């Protein structure tokens, strides 16, 4: 309260919003803001990344692991543009994020001044909303609105661009109260009844959940509904960790690289109950042949999702958890024994397709992590084959313990995000990454070492960009254009050591298990906590299976390597 | 394909038109007419959009509009229950050979002469889009120098007003 500077208003608002950590990189137009943060280090920890993009992914990881809003700060011009990929990543996965950028002073705006950039124009299509604060007297109100928008309804990033003179200006500060949290969106009775009617009439119901299940905190409610109506469950990539992996009736991820039984059961279902999932093309395959056998009940907080991907839906505009509680009284218990028996057959088939090789296969790497990882230690991934293997084989029991870039598929997401996740939870995080992705973000080991952030890095090194190579194998007659990285001769362990991380290379599953145990143990002691790299060599022709050709429909799934070979004719 | 007429009340903020049109561009909505004007209150601006497309894509357009925080309310107008018009200025060549035909046509449409020189005549006409299309079409038989039209503005018939209306 009282007269203070614009920069101080920003800091006070962050404190009022309960933000304990921000990720920020200084520069000419945020010098006042960093000066104000310098006096607030007892309340707000400032983590300085090596690059603004990683800082943005760290703020994103912080948000995904906790549900709180992540905050990133960057200077004008290149600082602001470096946030763009990070903001877009958060936008596509509906992650609450507030990005604060500096800009040149008002009187210089529009003159192409040094490091001037129209970042509100640039980020228009990748933010829920953005603000250019011309008038210092509106700064506090704008920041409050930004935090409210970021973390209500369908979550997402909001950017606030604050010219340097607004940070310096003396303003009257109003009462500091956090942005209000509106009650969750609730569907009208008619929509609930329509949903219940479709569910009650179903003979082969299937519960399918996505990121909205995590955002609304609907773990128990999902399992309760599915068991009441006798429906198997599956999820999208973004829904992983919302319910425990070993929940009876849970078939895992569906989609292009989904679990066989989950993808098949979803295809055969006559009533798909979609909870906070948006039917991305990687989930549906050919949309004209998607869910061909019946109704789709689509529950989402964002009604623009209804008319986007699929037609003929039972639309329910609601928060997922609220819907599940509201609809419970209208749905009739059922067991659907024939359908359940069929689902068990699908699972038996799936076991027949599994990979039982020994050695450092992708599956065995993930199983080693499963064996060692305490259940509250989150796993972060980067993007590519390793991400799909993690999604397929890792087991979870707690929500928000799987953090991955789904919608945008951002290579270079992982290391920054793993730092953010570890700082948010106050414990270690495990990053599962690949050599291609890690080349993009390994500089963040410097940030981890500098701040003793306990990140255990499991680097699957196959010397190639495996996901693209796999597509080249299947669809481009093994012409491996620009996907071989091995000849670069990069020594990841030496780089890690040069950046202040511990590093080790393993060559057997036993060594991997030992290295994981050692790395996690080291994180318990303040003196030895920090980034630890475990490099795991894997074969360059390991495929992610199942695999769906782009544009194919869900019943054309290629189930395993034998299936791949027979289709490739070798 | 159906033509839809949607009125949108937005916060009268810097850049708000850009936000709305940026969304139309990004989502590939084909807008046939768009007008923006001040309103009875300085806090709000009014945008009138004509959209041609399928019912489903119109629903998507409205749902995407509703997500913009600057959008306060919107309403889809039924042609039966609303009044729509636009304004046209058209500059014709003033040729001796065709002058009388041009003036006859203009009179038939009750277009007003607002500028007259040795070489040109400017007509002004207000009315429904069809009427204006027809007038321009007729003028194509002669030498059109320039055309400028405003796009559609619409109000609902009767006492109901847009402010505080959040439909759909």
- C-alpha angle A264-A266-A271 in degrees, rounded to nearest 5: 145
pLDDT at A180 (0 to 100) = 83
Of A128, A145, A307, the CB nearest to B60: A307
The residue among A34, A146, A136, A163 whose CA lies nearest residue A99 is A146
Beta strands in A139-217 (DSSP E): 157-163, 170-173, 205-209
User: In the A/B pair of chains, how many CB contacts fall below 8 A?
Assistant: 36
DSSP A89: H
Q: Is B109 found in the same domain as B67?
A: no
- What is the crossing angle of helices A260-268 and A337-353, to 10°? 150
Q: Would the CB atoms of A149 and B67 count as touching at under 8 Å?
A: no
Domain assignment of residue B160, yes or no: no
Most B CBs within 10 Å: which of A155, A307, A308, A311, as the mutation test of the B interface?
A: A307
DSSP A118: -
Q: For residues B159 and B125, what is the distance between their CA atoms, to the nearest angstrom?
A: 27
Of B15, B59, B69, the CB nearest to A307: B59
Q: Which of residues B25, B47, B78 is at a domain's end?
A: B78
Q: Is the ipTM of this complex over 0.85?
A: yes
- What is the crossing angle of helices A414-425 and A52-66, to 10°? 50
Contact A115, A80 (CB under 8 A): no
Question: Which position has the token pair 């929500």?
Answer: A399
Q: Is B65 found in the same domain as B43?
A: yes
Contact A177, A16 (CB under 8 A): yes
Domain assignment of residue B159, yes or no: no
Contact A482, A514 (CB under 8 A): no
pLDDT at B164 (0 to 100) = 60
| Helix locations, A151-180, DSSP H | 164-168
Q: Is B132 found in the same domain as B64?
A: no
pLDDT at B166 (0 to 100) = 46
Structure tokens at A316: 């329910």
Of A132, A134, A303, the CB nearest to B63: A303
Q: Is B101 found in the same domain as B62?
A: no
Across residues B66-79, what is the average pLDDT? 94
In terms of C-beta density within 10 A (0-12 exposed, 13-18 middle, 19 or more buried), how is residue A478 classed? exposed
Q: For residue A111, report the phi and psi dihedrals to the nearest 5 degrees.
A: -105, 5
Number of structural domains (chain B) is 2
- Taking the CB of residue A386, how many other CB atoms lie within 10 A of it? 33
Q: Does the beta carbon of A302 lie under 8 angstroms from any beta carbon of chain B?
A: yes
Every domain range in chain A assigned CATH 3.40.50.970: 2-173, 362-541
How close A162 comes to chain B (CA, Å)?
15
Q: Would the CB atoms of B66 and A307 count as touching at under 8 Å?
A: no
Every domain range in chain A assigned CATH 3.40.50.1220: 189-353
Contact A540, A274 (CB under 8 A): no
Q: Is B94 found in the same domain as B74?
A: no
Q: Is B47 found in the same domain as B19?
A: yes
Q: Would the CB atoms of A128 and B67 count as touching at under 8 Å?
A: yes
Residue of B nearest to A158 (CA): B69
Domain assignment of residue B166, yes or no: no
Q: Is B64 found in the same domain as B105?
A: no
Q: Is B50 found in the same domain as B108?
A: no
Q: Would the CB atoms of B69 and A120 count as touching at under 8 Å?
A: no
Domain that holds residue B102: 83-153
Domain assignment of residue B34, yes or no: yes
pLDDT, one tens digit for every residue, chain A (570 residues): 689 999 999 999 999 999 999 999 999 999 999 999 999 999 999 999 999 999 999 999 999 999 999 999 999 999 999 999 999 999 999 999 999 999 999 999 999 999 999 999 999 999 999 999 999 999 999 999 999 999 999 999 999 999 999 999 999 999 988 888 889 999 999 999 999 999 999 999 999 999 999 999 999 999 999 999 999 999 999 999 999 999 999 999 999 999 999 999 999 999 999 999 998 888 887 877 777 777 899 999 999 998 777 777 899 999 999 999 999 999 999 999 999 999 999 999 999 999 999 999 999 999 999 999 999 999 999 999 999 999 999 999 999 999 999 999 999 999 999 999 999 999 999 999 999 999 999 999 999 999 999 999 999 999 999 999 999 998 899 999 999 999 889 999 999 999 999 999 999 999 999 999 999 999 999 999 999 999 999 999 999 999 988 778 877 889 998 888 887 765
Domain assignment of residue B162, yes or no: no
Of B19, B56, B63, the CB nearest to A304: B63
Q: Which of residues B26, B49, B78 is at a domain's end?
A: B78
How close A124 comes to chain B (CA, Å)?
7
DSSP A332: P
Q: Which of residues B78, B101, B136 is at a domain's end?
A: B78
- Distance, CA of A497 to chain centre: 28
Q: For residues A30 and A104, what is the distance between their CA atoms, to the nearest angstrom?
A: 9
DSSP A63: H
Q: Name the pTM for this structure.
A: 0.95
Contact B88, B136 (CB under 8 A): yes
- Taking the CB of residue A474, how many other CB atoms lie within 10 A of it? 16
Contact A243, A250 (CB under 8 A): yes
Query: Which H helix or E strand runs over A88?
Result: helix A84-92
Helix, coil or strand: residue A83: coil
**β B2-11/B44-53 pair status:** antiparallel
Q: Would the CB atoms of B69 and A149 count as touching at under 8 Å?
A: yes
Domain assignment of residue B115, yes or no: yes
Q: Does the beta carbon of A303 lie under 8 angstroms from any beta carbon of chain B?
A: yes
Measured between beta carbons, which residues in chain B are less than 8 angstroms from residue A308? 60
Give how far Cα A496 sits from Cα of A198, A394, A416, A418, Å. 55, 25, 15, 16
Residue of B nearest to A127 (CA): B68
CATH number at residue B50: 3.30.70.260
Most A CBs within 10 Å: which of B28, B60, B71, as the mutation test of the A interface?
A: B60
Structure tokens at B104: 């006859």
Q: Would the CB atoms of B15 and A120 count as touching at under 8 Å?
A: yes
In the CATH hierarchy, which top-level class contains the domain A362-541? Answer: alpha beta
Domain assignment of residue B103, yes or no: yes
Q: Which CATH number fits domain A2-173: 3.50.50.60, 3.40.50.300, 3.40.50.970, 3.40.50.80?
A: 3.40.50.970
- C-alpha angle A74-A79-A85 in degrees, rounded to nearest 5: 95
Instruction: Provide the CATH number for the domain formed by A189-353 in this structure.
Output: 3.40.50.1220
Q: Is B143 found in the same domain as B111?
A: yes
CATH number at residue B127: 3.30.70.1150
Q: Does the beta carbon of A188 lie under 8 angstroms from any beta carbon of chain B?
A: no
Q: Does the beta carbon of A41 lie under 8 angstroms from any beta carbon of chain B?
A: no
Q: Is B115 found in the same domain as B98?
A: yes
pLDDT at A1 (0 to 100) = 67
Q: Is B113 found in the same domain as B72?
A: no
Q: Is B9 found in the same domain as B74?
A: yes
DSSP A119-152: HHHHTGGGSSEEEE---GGGHHHHHHHHHHHHTS
DSSP B7-59: EEEEE--TTHHHHHHHHHHHTT--EEEEEEEE-SSTTEEEEEEEEEE-HHHHH
Query: Which H helix or E strand runs over B138?
Result: helix B129-139
- Taking the CB of residue B83, how many other CB atoms lie within 10 A of it? 12
């Amino acid at each position: 309260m009282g007269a203070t500077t614009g920069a101080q208003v920003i800091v006070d608002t962050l404190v009022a919003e309960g933000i304990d950590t921000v990720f920020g990189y200084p520069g000419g137009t945020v010098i006042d803001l960093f000066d104000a943060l310098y006096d607030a280090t007892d309340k707000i920890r400032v983590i300085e990344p090596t690059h603004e993009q990683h800082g943005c992914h760290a703020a994103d990881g912080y948000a995904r692991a906790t549900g709180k809003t992540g905050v990133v700060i960057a200077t004008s011009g290149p600082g602001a543009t470096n946030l763009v990929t990070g903001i877009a990543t958060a936008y596509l996965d509906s992650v609450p994020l507030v990005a604060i950028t500096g800009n040149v002073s008002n009187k210089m705006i529009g003159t192409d001044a040094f490091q001037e950039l129209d970042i509100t124009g640039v980020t228009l299509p990748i933010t829920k909303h953005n603000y250019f604060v011309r008038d210092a007297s509106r700064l506090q109100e704008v920041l409050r609105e930004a935090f409210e928008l970021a973390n209500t309804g369908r979550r997402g990033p909001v950017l606030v661009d604050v010219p340097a003179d607004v940070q310096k200006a003396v303003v009257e500060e109003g009462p500091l109260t956090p942005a209000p949290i509106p009650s969750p969106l609730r569907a009208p009775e008619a929509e609930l009844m329509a949903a219940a009617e479709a569910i009650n009439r179903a003979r082969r119901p299937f519960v399918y959940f996505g990121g909205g299940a995590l955002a609304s905190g609907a773990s128990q409610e999902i399992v309760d509904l599915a068991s009441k109506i006798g429906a198997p469950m599956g999820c999208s990539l973004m829904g992983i960790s919302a319910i425990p992996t070993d929940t009876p009736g849970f078939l895992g991820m569906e989609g292009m690289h989904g679990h066989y039984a989950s993808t098949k059961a979803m295809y055969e279902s006559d009533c798909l109950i979609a909870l906070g999932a948006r039917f991305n093309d990687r989930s549906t395959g050919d949309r004209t042949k998607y869910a061909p056998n019946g109704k789709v009940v689509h529950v989402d907080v964002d009604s623009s999702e209804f008319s986007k991907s699929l037609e003929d839906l039972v639309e329910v505009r609601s928060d997922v958890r609220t819907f599940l509680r509201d609809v419970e009284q209208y749905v009739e218990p059922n067991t659907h024994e024939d359908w359940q028996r069929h689902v068990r057959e699908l699972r038996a088939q799936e076991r027949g397709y599994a990979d039982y090789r020994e050695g450092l296969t992708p599956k065995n790497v993930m199983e080693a992590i499963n064996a060692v990882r305490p259940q509250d230690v989150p796993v972060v991934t980067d993007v590519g084959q390793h991400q799909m293997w993690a999604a397929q084989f890792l087991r979870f029991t707690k929500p928000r313990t799987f953090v991955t870039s789904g919608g945008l598929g951002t290579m270079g997401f992982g290391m920054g995000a793993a730092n953010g996740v570890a700082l948010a939870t106050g414990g270690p995080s495990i990053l599962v990454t690949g050599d291609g992705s890690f080349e993009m973000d390994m500089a963040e080991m410097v940030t981890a070492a500098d701040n003793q952030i306990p990140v255990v890095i499991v680097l699957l090194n196959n010397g190639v960009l495996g996901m693209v190579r796999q597509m080249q194998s299947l669809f481009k007659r093994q012409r491996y254009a620009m996907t071989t990285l091995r000849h670069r001769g990069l020594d990841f362990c030496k780089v890690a050591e040069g950046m202040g991380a511990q590093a080790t290379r393993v060559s057997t599953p036993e060594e991997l298990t030992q290295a994981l145990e050692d790395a996690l143990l080291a994180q318990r002691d303040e003196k030895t906590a920090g980034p630890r790299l475990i490099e795991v060599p894997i074969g360059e022709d390991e495929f992610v299976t199942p695999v769906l050709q782009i544009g194919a429909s869900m019943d054309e799934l290629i189930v395993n390597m034998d299936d791949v070979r027979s289709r490739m004719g070798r | 394909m159906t033509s839809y007429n949607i009125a949108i009340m937005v916060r009268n903020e810097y850049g708000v038109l850009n936000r709305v049109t940026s969304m139309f561009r990004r989502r590939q909505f084909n807008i046939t007419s768009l007008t923006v004007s001040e309103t009875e209150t300085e806090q709000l601006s009014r945008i009138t959009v004509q959209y041609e497309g399928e019912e489903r894509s119109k629903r998507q357009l409205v749902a995407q509009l509703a997500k913009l925080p600057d959008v306060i309310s919107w309403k889809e107008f039924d042609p039966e229950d609303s009044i729509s018009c636009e304004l046209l200025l058209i500059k014709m060549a003033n040729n001796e050979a065709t002058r009388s035909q041009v003036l006859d046509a203009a009179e038939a449409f009750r277009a007003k002469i607002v500028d007259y020189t040795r070489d040109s005549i400017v007509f002004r006409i207000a009315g429904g889009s069809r009427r204006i299309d027809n007038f321009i079409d007729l003028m194509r038989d002669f030498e059109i120098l320039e055309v400028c039209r405003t796009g559609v503005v619409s109000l609902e018939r009767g006492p109901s007003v847009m402010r505080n209306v959040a439909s759909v």
